[in-house]
Amino acid sequence: MWVSRLVIPGLCQMALILDNSRIHHATELQLFLKEHPRLQLVFLPPYSPNLNPVEGLWLWLKADVVNNIFFEKFYKTRLHVSQFMKRINNHPYTRVEIMFSVNLVMYSFFYAFLKGN
């Protein structure tokens, strides 16, 4: 299970921030969490795309790649998405950095609020 790579013996308490996707509540994951109590899952509130950085990336990708464009073949869609991802990966400290850093500040406030209640 991929989450097992997050748990390193001897380290302090950890929190993993997730959206409320059904897979994040799977029975197998719950069993893993019982075995590793220092890993705590923090779920974002429902319908909170402003707290989830990947939602900004999807919005950007849709606006840049598929907005008002019809691709006759699926491979063309995949090609354009791949080109978009390569382009933003070639310049990781531009708009992407700003998009994610703002959301990380929101995460910090959200997590602090949860820990205080």
Token duo for residue 112: 């602090």
Other C-beta atoms within 10 Å of 49: how many? Answer: 14
Where exactly are the structural domains of the chain?
12-43, 48-117
Q: Comparing 116 with 65, which gets the higher pLDDT?
A: 65
What is residue 3's predicted lDDT score, i.e. its pLDDT?
A: 52
Query: For residue 15, what are the β-bridge partners?
Result: 40
pLDDT tens per residue, range 67-107: 888 999 999 999 999 998 888 888 766 665 556 555 555 55
| Three-class DSSP category at 16 | strand
User: Which pLDDT score, from 0 to 100, does residue 93 have?
Assistant: 63
The predicted model gives 51-62 an average pLDDT of: 79
Q: How far apart are the first and last CA of the chain?
A: 31
pLDDT at 116 exceeding the cut of 70: no
Residue 117 CA to residue 115 CA, distance in Å, equals 6
pLDDT in tens, 3-46: 555 555 665 677 788 888 888 888 888 888 888 888 888 888 88
Q: What is the pTM of this model?
A: 0.51
Chain centre to alpha carbon of residue 63? 19
Alpha helix positions (H), the chain: 27-35, 53-61, 74-90, 95-116
